[in-house]
Chain A
Amino acid sequence: MVPTAYLKKLFSTATMVSLSMALIAGCSTPPASSPPEGSAPSTTTSTETPAATADLQPKKGGTITIGIANEPDQLDIHKTGMAVANQIAGNLGASLVTQDPDTLEFKPYLAESWQVSEDGKTWTFKIRTDVKFHDGTAMTAKSIAETYQRALNPETAAKVAGSNLSEVESVEASDDTTLVLHLKQPFAPLLQFLSDPGWLQPLSMQAIEQAGDKYARQPVGVGPWKFEKWENGQSISFTRNEEFAWADPIFKNQGAPYADRLVYRFIAENQTLLAALDSGSIDIARGVVAKDVAKYRDNPQFEVKEMLRNGLGLFVMLNTRKPVFQDVEVRQALNKAINKEAIMKAVIQGEGVVSYGPLPPSLFGYDESVKDYGLTYQVDEAKALLEKAGYTKNAQGLYEKDGKPLKLDLLTQTGTWAQASQLIQAMLKDIGVEVNIVTLEWGALVDTATKGSFDMTLMGYTLNDPDVLYLFLHSSQADSGLNFSYVKDEKMDELLVKGRTTVDSAARKDVYKEVQKYVVEQAWWVPIYTEKQFNVVRKPVEGVGIHPLRGLMYHDSWVNQ
């Protein structure tokens, strides 16, 4: 049908924006995996496993029901671009390598071992042989190679999976146990991406062929949970994979899951989600916001699982296509006019950390010293900078230049961002800049930002590797990617390429140290905060784990009934 066809394209520009609803998904919910070594300070990790429950013996049986706001579009992990699809499909899958939640070291999982060539461009993985797909076929190196070939095939148009493998030139399996990835250039985030049981899990080609179009709603993987059914608009449920004997070594439970079923229930209204948790309709509420979390902390019937978001939770992108923001002094002035602490306190009750640079403390390469050189709230300096840039106050108390008052549009979406945008508006009003808030729903916001017809937009991202900055700040991403600020800066490009190709972690850290410093100096963004993400678990369910980069883990979970 004609109109549908073109609108479908229209829609896909909104969702795809090269890849990345998943990265920038505005409103919270913990995603999947992340970076190596030493980057994560103590705030990142989970709260407690209460001593009382530690001695209990896990029991078999029961159902664990998880309440979550968004329903995925589909579970064909290559074709979806939604973060929530990855979270849910992660239960169906397993990863080549795994990442220790405490040390953040990479360890063998589906790959028993791996080797990297001298030039860093050939990776050889030895694949274990005892793994079976849910449809009964055996998983071999060949299955994984075919899975990645499918993700790389332009016809599949794989969004996030394709982007995670974008530096892979080719994949091959020389025999059932040997998988070889040939890279275009050394690619530092590779293991990080391969440690994710969602996007890059092995898929059963046989199941894909048999199911055809229906595969998107009856996925088949190798993970601890088997797809059971999808009730449209309500829930997706999984049953225990009885044969599962190849658990991720980071879990205590090395066999099949304890619970009989795992159910994701979709509840769009926040108040309804909480009421469902309170009344026991669901056992786990995902993405509980800071303001609601206090009452669960004090209640012994609930356990709060928290982690710092793997990404900058909130920042303002200034659009450098607009003449006003081509002036670095104006960009810096806005950075100094916004009181990040006040916003963090009001919007997320202080449950997070203030951000001064483009990376959060939870990501590899975060530089502590950004707090010292970052731009802080200094109203007088902000005004001075604007005056230096040639702006003068007019009769209405607004700054103006060449007779044009400083009036800026700020894109935002409903929810917590609405509050933040109103605070920013009030703060900028205080220094004499008028802000007009434009509230759009998420798809429309990304659309508008991609097209560049805005002055400022709120944004947030989540990814497990600092290479995310390449997607947001490299000139190649300016016209159709996520570089909404339209940064086209040679030095920036050079640093970002160096960041993704430097495999040695100490050297890589230095690169990102420089990246952060440069981004702060250029002030293309106004970083605001990175929030803690909360999940609340209701008592009969025990043993829910949290990985600082993957979020909640259910393999050790059981129902105490």
Chain B
Amino acid sequence: MSQANPAVISPSQKQVPVREDGVLLKLWQNPKSRYSMIILLIVIAVGIMGPWFAPHDPTKPYYESLLAEPSAEHLLGTDSIGRDVFSRLLHGTRVTLMVAVMAVSITFITGTFIGVTSAFIGGVVDTILMRIMDILLAIPNIIMAMAIVAILGPSLTNAMIAVGIAGIPKYARLTRGSTLAVKSSGYVEASRAVGTSNARILLFQIMPNIMSTLLVYTTLQIGIAILDTAALSFIGLGAQPPTPEWGTMLSEGKEYISDAWWLATFPGISISIVVFSVNILGDALRDILDPKSN
């Protein structure tokens, strides 16, 4: 079946290794991706250093100022149990990014492994693996993630695992498609003819060639992972209190949407900005690395 999303997945027809040194420069030259990169760099910096700058302990309740509006003391106000929203947002940046990166790593490692194995070995192994991917693909991401968390029990780690697993099938199919395209290219056949070992072909010819496609998709997957984690939080299967994760903050904040606007607004905007930037960057990367696929 071909439920792969053509917008992101299309086995690249490139037969020749792409020179990737110019990618960063090209990204920088395009104003859209430049701003995305700047935003993401800032967000990553906040993720790394933010906690040092947090004015308050993100889990400490200030009983005397519950649901306080943004003020000099609490820049973005306080939540229903009197915790400083700004500090939670800063700490939450790290948590949110970590979760996304870990989830995507699960997707990336497992998906690439399955996809490459499938394409490289071919035959029965290929058929079996791809059928399994088809089966998993038939179950919507969010339902799959919900089922996994329901089985493992709700926690941030399990949400991360669930979101990661849910992304695997599409990823594996993409990797397989790209690998097949490279494998059938003239120079792989040529190296095989001169007796290059499979491992060498895999490491030095296939991997570098499929990397560009994978990079595009991995970037876009980060956005999906952040949104899926937030969706899990919305139905109560995400991060556990008092962890300041953006999706959980947004989900808690939605209960106060009409009387304490700052609770949902800031995490909501943070998520949207990060996902938006990631998507723009992913698109730009695709335009540069994999122009045919658009």
Is A426 positioned at the interface, with any CB of B under 8 Å from its CB? yes
Using CB atoms, name the residue of chain A closest to B61.
Answer: A426
Q: How far apart are the CA atoms of A438 and B155 in the complex, in Å?
A: 8
Contact of B80 among A270, A274, A291 (CB under 8 A): A291
Flag if B242 contacts A346 (CB, 8 Å).
no
Is A418 positioned at the interface, with any CB of B under 8 Å from its CB? yes
**For residue A191, which residues in chain B have a CB less than 8 angstroms away from its CB?**
none
Is B287 positioned at the interface, with any CB of A under 8 Å from its CB? no
Is A184 positioned at the interface, with any CB of B under 8 Å from its CB? no
Q: How far apart are the CA atoms of A510 and B66 in the complex, in Å?
A: 41
- Known pairs A346-B66, A439-B236, A439-B241; A419 contacts B59 (CB<8 A): no
Flag if A346 contacts B240 (CB, 8 Å).
no
Q: Which of A410-443 contact B (CB under 8 A)?
A: 414, 418-419, 421-423, 425-426, 437-441
- Known pairs A271-B254, A271-B255, A439-B154; A419 contacts B80 (CB<8 A): yes
Is B256 positioned at the interface, with any CB of A under 8 Å from its CB? yes
- Known pairs A346-B61, A346-B81; A437 contacts B254 (CB<8 A): no
Q: How far apart are the CA atoms of A437 and B153 in the complex, in Å?
A: 13
Shortest distance from the beta carbon of B62 to any chain A beta carbon, whole Å = 10
- Known pairs A291-B80, A422-B59; A437 contacts B257 (CB<8 A): no
- Known pairs A422-B59, A426-B61; A438 contacts B240 (CB<8 A): yes
Flag if B241 contacts A421 (CB, 8 Å).
yes
Is B55 positioned at the interface, with any CB of A under 8 Å from its CB? no
How many interface residues does B have (CB within 8 Å)? 21
Contact of B236 among A346, A414, A437 (CB under 8 A): A414
Q: Is the interface of B mostly helix, strand, loop or mixed?
A: loop
Chain A window 335-377, contacts with chain B (Cβ cutoff 8 Å), 1 for yes, 0 for no:
0000100100111000000000000000000000000000000
Shortest distance from the beta carbon of B184 to any chain A beta carbon, whole Å = 45
Flag if A422 contacts B66 (CB, 8 Å).
no
Using CB atoms, name the residue of chain B closest to A429.
Answer: B59
Flag if A346 contacts B80 (CB, 8 Å).
yes
Q: How far apart are the CA atoms of A50 and B80 in the complex, in Å?
A: 32
Shortest distance from the beta carbon of A431 to any chain B beta carbon, whole Å = 14
Shortest distance from the beta carbon of B7 to any chain A beta carbon, whole Å = 31
**For residue B53, which residues in chain A have a CB less than 8 angstroms away from its CB?**
none
**For residue A441, which residues in chain B have a CB less than 8 angstroms away from its CB?**
236
Is B204 positioned at the interface, with any CB of A under 8 Å from its CB? no
How many A-B contacts if CB must be within 8 Å? 57
Shortest distance from the beta carbon of B80 to any chain A beta carbon, whole Å = 6
Q: How far apart are the CA atoms of A347 and B241 in the complex, in Å?
A: 15
Using CB atoms, name the residue of chain A closest to B59.
Answer: A426
- Known pairs A291-B80, A439-B236; A418 contacts B256 (CB<8 A): no
Task: Place the interface of chain A in its size category.
Answer: 20 to 34
Is A295 positioned at the interface, with any CB of B under 8 Å from its CB? yes
Is B60 positioned at the interface, with any CB of A under 8 Å from its CB? yes
Q: How far apart are the CA atoms of A437 and B243 in the complex, in Å?
A: 10
**For residue A414, which residues in chain B have a CB less than 8 angstroms away from its CB?**
236
Using CB atoms, name the residue of chain B closest to A420.
Answer: B81
- Known pairs A439-B241, A441-B236; A346 contacts B259 (CB<8 A): no
Flag if A346 contacts B255 (CB, 8 Å).
no
Flag if A345 contacts B63 (CB, 8 Å).
yes
Flag if A440 contacts B154 (CB, 8 Å).
yes
Flag if A423 contacts B254 (CB, 8 Å).
no
Flag if B66 contacts A345 (CB, 8 Å).
yes
Is B82 positioned at the interface, with any CB of A under 8 Å from its CB? yes
**For residue B259, which residues in chain A have a CB less than 8 angstroms away from its CB?**
291-292, 294-295
- Known pairs A414-B236, A423-B81; A346 contacts B241 (CB<8 A): no
Shortest distance from the beta carbon of A287 to any chain B beta carbon, whole Å = 14
- Known pairs A271-B254, A345-B66, A346-B61; A419 contacts B81 (CB<8 A): yes
- Known pairs A270-B255, A295-B259; A422 contacts B63 (CB<8 A): no
Contact of A437 among B81, B82, B241, B258 (CB under 8 A): B241
**For residue A418, which residues in chain B have a CB less than 8 angstroms away from its CB?**
241, 252
Q: How far apart are the CA atoms of A526 and B153 in the complex, in Å?
A: 27
Contact of A346 among B63, B252, B257 (CB under 8 A): B63
Flag if B256 contacts A423 (CB, 8 Å).
no
Shortest distance from the beta carbon of A319 to any chain B beta carbon, whole Å = 19
Q: How far apart are the CA atoms of A339 and B82 in the complex, in Å?
A: 14
Chain B window 5-43, contacts with chain A (Cβ cutoff 8 Å), 1 for yes, 0 for no:
000000000000000000000000000000000000000
Chain A window 113-131, contacts with chain B (Cβ cutoff 8 Å), 1 for yes, 0 for no:
0000000000000000000
Q: How far apart are the CA atoms of A346 and B67 in the complex, in Å?
A: 9
Flag if B240 contacts A423 (CB, 8 Å).
no
**For residue B61, which residues in chain A have a CB less than 8 angstroms away from its CB?**
342, 346, 422-423, 426
**For residue A346, which residues in chain B have a CB less than 8 angstroms away from its CB?**
61, 63, 66, 80-82
Chain B window 58-102, contacts with chain A (Cβ cutoff 8 Å), 1 for yes, 0 for no:
011101001000000000000011100000000000000000000
Q: How far apart are the CA atoms of A212 and B85 in the complex, in Å?
A: 56
Residue of B254, B255, B259 contacting most chain A CB atoms (<10 Å): B255
Flag if B242 contacts A422 (CB, 8 Å).
yes
Flag if A291 contacts B242 (CB, 8 Å).
no
Flag if A437 contacts B240 (CB, 8 Å).
yes
**For residue A271, which residues in chain B have a CB less than 8 angstroms away from its CB?**
254-255, 257
**For residue B154, which residues in chain A have a CB less than 8 angstroms away from its CB?**
439-440
Q: How far apart are the CA atoms of A254 and B270 in the complex, in Å?
A: 59
Q: Which of A431-460 contact B (CB under 8 A)?
A: 437-441
Q: How far apart are the CA atoms of A295 and B82 in the complex, in Å?
A: 21
Shortest distance from the beta carbon of A414 to any chain B beta carbon, whole Å = 4
Residue of A425, A439, A440 contacting most chain B CB atoms (<10 Å): A439
**For residue A440, which residues in chain B have a CB less than 8 angstroms away from its CB?**
153-154
Chain A window 391-426, contacts with chain B (Cβ cutoff 8 Å), 1 for yes, 0 for no:
000000000000000000000001000110111011
Shortest distance from the beta carbon of B159 to any chain A beta carbon, whole Å = 12
Chain B window 141-176, contacts with chain A (Cβ cutoff 8 Å), 1 for yes, 0 for no:
000000000000110000000000000000000000
Q: How far apart are the CA atoms of A291 and B257 in the complex, in Å?
A: 11
Q: Which of B240-255 contact A (CB under 8 A)?
A: 240-242, 252, 254-255
Flag if A342 contacts B63 (CB, 8 Å).
yes
Q: How far apart are the CA atoms of A419 and B254 in the complex, in Å?
A: 14
Shortest distance from the beta carbon of A84 to any chain B beta carbon, whole Å = 19
Residue of A418, A437, A441 contacting most chain B CB atoms (<10 Å): A418
Using CB atoms, name the residue of chain A closest to B60.
Answer: A426
**For residue A294, which residues in chain B have a CB less than 8 angstroms away from its CB?**
259
Flag if A422 contacts B254 (CB, 8 Å).
no
Could you list which residues of chain A lie within 8 angstroms of chain B, going by C-beta atoms?
270-271, 274, 291-292, 294-295, 339, 342, 345-347, 414, 418-419, 421-423, 425-426, 437-441
Nearest 5 A-B pairs (CB), nearest first?
A414-B236, A342-B63, A346-B81, A422-B242, A422-B241
18 A-B pairs besides A292-B259, A437-B242 with CB distance below 8 A are: A271-B257, A291-B80, A291-B255, A345-B66, A346-B66, A346-B82, A347-B81, A418-B241, A422-B61, A422-B241, A423-B81, A425-B59, A425-B242, A426-B242, A437-B240, A439-B241, A440-B153, A440-B154
27 A–B contacts from the bound complex (CB under 8 Å): A270-B255, A271-B254, A271-B257, A274-B258, A291-B256, A342-B63, A345-B66, A346-B61, A346-B66, A346-B80, A346-B81, A347-B80, A414-B236, A418-B252, A419-B81, A422-B59, A422-B81, A423-B61, A423-B81, A425-B59, A426-B59, A426-B60, A426-B61, A426-B242, A437-B242, A438-B240, A439-B236
